[in-house]
Amino acid sequence: MPKLLSSFLIHWAVSILGLWIAQALLSEEHFYLGGSLTTLLVTALLLALINMFLKPLLVFLSLPAILVTLGLFMLVVNGLTILIVSWLYEPFFVDNLWVAILAGIIVGLVNFLVSVIISDLTKKDIASIK
């Protein structure tokens, strides 16, 4: 499998997990995934695509704010990506930017935990080969 495709599938899976957890933690009146698996899959697909293609541009354009705030503005960038998905896909609803930032924090934490787990598993596999 090409590296880009496998990377995209991992981003998509992590987005699915992160959005599902965010749905469970946040109120439905502020953050709603449409109540179906299809909506979750499409929303996560759009989020993964935006994170792969649009987010680097958003980070580049907001680099001064990221540097001044010592990286805290990345929370706003993550929230904006989730808000953009809610604008693009009607069944997915996010009430406002603050809810999107909270969802971005949740998805980011899930992404971090999954990457730590994958990193540990990869290190163990490499160590067992040697």
pLDDT in tens, 83-93: 999 999 999 99
Tell me the average pLDDT across 75-99: 94
Tell me the average pLDDT across 70-87: 95
Which has more pLDDT, 61 or 115?
A: 61
pLDDT (tens digit per residue) in 20-58: 999 999 988 899 998 889 999 999 999 988 988 999 999
Q: How far is CA 54 from the centre of its chain?
A: 12
| 24: containing domain | 3-129
Is residue 101 a contact partner of residue 77, using CB atoms and an 8 Å limit?
Answer: no
* pTM for the predicted model, two decimal places: 0.85
Counted domains in the chain: 1
Mean pLDDT across the chain: 90
d(CA 80, CA 66): 14
Which has more pLDDT, 96 or 126?
A: 96
